[in-house]
Amino acid sequence: MGTEPLEVVKVREKFGAALKEVVYFRGEETLVLEPSGIRPICAFLKSDPEMSFNLLLDIAGIHFLEREYSYEVIYHLLSLARKRRLRLRVRLGEEGEIDSVVPVWRTADWHEREAFDLVGIRFKGHPDLRRILMPEDFVGHPLRKDFPLEQ
């Protein structure tokens, strides 16, 4: 990569240490962020006219075993005006808790419910955090790596 993309420069300028790392792979860029910065950074990426990542495509939760972090939350953003995609990655410890981004994009509601339901990540400030795909009385979170497959 030659010059850094604009979003990297601006996020680093405004949030400094909250941007831990930038990963480039197959022409895609991923910003690795501190969990505490997720909501302000998302709000900035959405509202700043030079960024305008106004559409949240997806939120994916990932579970890990025996690592220094237990969860990753992956956000896929799209700027309709700039025709650019951006991925945000946040790593969480065993507590598995992060601020909800529903106040930034309403579409995050069901995506966060799904990450809670299947992976067990809790989103602080979510208006209605309950299971979405599994039955309400289901025990456990099926996409965790320690979920027993043979019952």
| Residue among 22 and 60 whose Cβ is closer to another protein | 60
- C-alpha dist (Å) from residue 10 to 83, 119, 140: 18, 32, 40
Separation between Cα atoms, residue 30 and residue 32, nearest integer Å? 6
Question: Which is closer to another protein, CB of 14 or CB of 78?
Answer: 78
- Judged by CB under 8 A, does residue 60 bind another protein? yes
DSSP character string of 46-88: HH-TTT---EEEEEEEEE-SSSS-SEEEEEEEEETTTTEEEEE
Contact between 110 and another protein by CB under 8 A: the answer reads yes
Contact segment (CB under 8 A) with another protein among 9-17, 34-42, 83-91, 92-100 equals 83-91
Q: Which residues bind another protein (CB under 8 A)?
A: 25-26, 28, 30, 54-58, 60, 62, 74, 76, 80, 83, 85, 87, 105-107, 109-110, 118, 131-135, 142-143, 147
